[in-house]
Amino acid sequence: MAKTGFFHHIGTFLLFAATILLLITTISSPVINSIGVMEVKLTNSTNGHNSVVKFGSFGYCIIHASGNKDYCTGKHIGYNPAQVMSGADKTDFNTASTDTTKALTRVMVLHPIACGLAFIAFLLAAGSGVIGAVGAALVTAVAWIVTIVVMCTDFVAFGIIKRHVDRDGSGSHAHYSTAMWTLVAAMICLFLAFFIVLLTCCSSRGHRQSHKMTWNGTSTTPPTPKRQFWQRRSRFKMQQ
């Protein structure tokens, strides 16, 4: 029983960790300028101090190398990263790539939804009772599916941007950044948490059922035979 409780605590911690990781992805640029899902280092400066475009969940920021004030868009659902790169570094995109990346950025609204679901699962797992653990496992499964969906769309959308930027010959370089890897880590945490919480829940339920059967007298252990009154009396005489 103690081992079951220990593993359940591990599952609960993983849900808390997934919540924090998804929160970091959610508050990427333009909420926090320094965090991005993908970064593009531009070639409009020298000596390695190039300006950087940081794409986030609800917009993007341009971090200027010269120390000027950074430019960030307002926070909104969906934007056009291909158009941003065309204006910032003259990267050439076809119509299909532009429309696809613009549409996929709208799916990033699932970042905060997955974060909220992970937090609800954490609260359910932290509560006591088998019902809470079953609810936590179900919500964790939904959060994991949502995270998988948005992670795939992020990789597809920014993969298109990255391929065009790196092959355009301008010298700019694109790479996935902190918010993308926290999303991947959150997906792994949710995957592990689901199985741990579910297995500990089933194990705890089985233990309770076994304990209940034993308490009701249905245990397979044969009962100790009861002594009759004459057997007790003869034993008393032998002791005398």
Q: List pLDDT tens digits, range 17-70.
A: 999 999 999 999 999 998 999 999 988 654 445 789 999 999 999 988 766 778
**How far is Cα 164 from Cα 174, in angstroms, rounded to an integer?**
9
Q: What is the DSSP letter of 106?
A: G
Boundaries of every domain in the chain: 2-206
- The residues, any chain, with a CB within 8 Å of residue 79's CB and separated by 6 or more, are 58, 59, 60, 73, 102, 105
Tell me: pLDDT of 107 over 50.
Answer: yes
| pTM attached to this predicted model | 0.80
Query: What residues form DSSP beta bridges with 10?
Result: none
Q: Which CATH number fits domain 2-206: 3.90.1300.10, 1.20.140.150, 3.30.420.40, 3.40.50.360?
A: 1.20.140.150
- pLDDT at site 36: 95
- pLDDT at site 235: 52
SS3 category, 16: helix
Query: What residues form DSSP beta bridges with 103?
Result: none
- pLDDT at site 139: 95
